Structure 1
């Protein structure tokens, strides 16, 4: 994990479940992988994000989507905009994004935080109009 804030409960958006993310996680567990994306390798700084970020930048250019300030990190900005558009309570939004506040209010450290059920309800309201991922949906496999 990159920071202490990285350790948190973050529910999976229902759209990711529809495209098979839970199945993918199960596959990684059955393969006894220690990481969710085992194909990523560390860069010279020991980070798994470095090489991937460089690959993603080249990918954007290759599909004519490379623009100034467009990088993999831009997904976090888009997520924050999605939280705003969904009118998610600021404290819940900060929790979901793993963002810490500079105020450091003592009250923020009290209690257990938000329940997974409440966080799931909040993240489920996020939508990106015009984004259609239905071609990626997986069919349930009868057990």
Structure 2
């Protein structure tokens, strides 16, 4: 992600999920992957938007959100991080082959199911599609509608309160 991937749309803080103009440093796999996702209130509480603001004061708009993360041989920052995560799992003794970095996406899908979010909102939030022509009709769901849905997504037992910034609004 880059700093210009964070915007406010219709009064809602969002993250743009998109490829880069050069097509080299950021990519999405499918057309449905190009989307926006409202910033979850928990990310606001732990200071993500404050961090973005601080980074914008120091770097150009197209700078990487986390410039300290190196790019891999493929040019993507996700590659070294995925390898780091695999080493971390080994270090803490998690050896199940189904528990990998991509598991976060599967857990997110499960959390969307548990929140009883409509399939149309799930597809918009996750970048999934049915492959039907109807998917291309209309302009899609509003940022406010998706923000209301994502606010209901949670992970029972996950307590991030030790990361909260005291001045962050939810």
With the length of structure 1 as denominator, give the TM-score of the two structures. 0.89
Q: Which has the higher helix share?
A: 1
Q: Distance in 1 between matches of 2:137 and 2:41?
A: 30
CA separation of 1:5/1:37 partners in 2, compared to 1, >3 Å: closer, same or farther? farther
Which of structure 1's runs of 4+ aligned residues deviate more than 3 A? none
Q: Distance in 1 between matches of 2:51 and 2:94?
A: 27
Secondary structure, aligned partner of 2:36: coil
Higher RCO, Cα 8 Å, sep 6+: 1
**Which runs of 5 or more residues in structure 1 are unaligned?**
none
**Which runs of 5 or more residues in structure 2 are unaligned?**
1-18, 20-26
Q: Distance in 1 between matches of 2:147 and 2:94?
A: 31
Q: How far 1:24 moved relative to its partner?
A: 1.0
Q: How far 1:74 moved relative to its partner?
A: 0.6
Task: Say which of 132, 136, 139 aligns to 2:163.
Answer: 136
Q: Which has the higher strand share?
A: 2
Q: Distance in 2 between matches of 1:35 and 1:6?
A: 19
Q: Is 2:54 the partner of 1:27? A: yes
Secondary structure, aligned partner of 1:96: helix
Instruction: State the superposition RMSD in angstroms.
Output: 1.5
Number of residues paired by the alignment? 139
CA contact (8 A) 2:129 2:135 kept: no
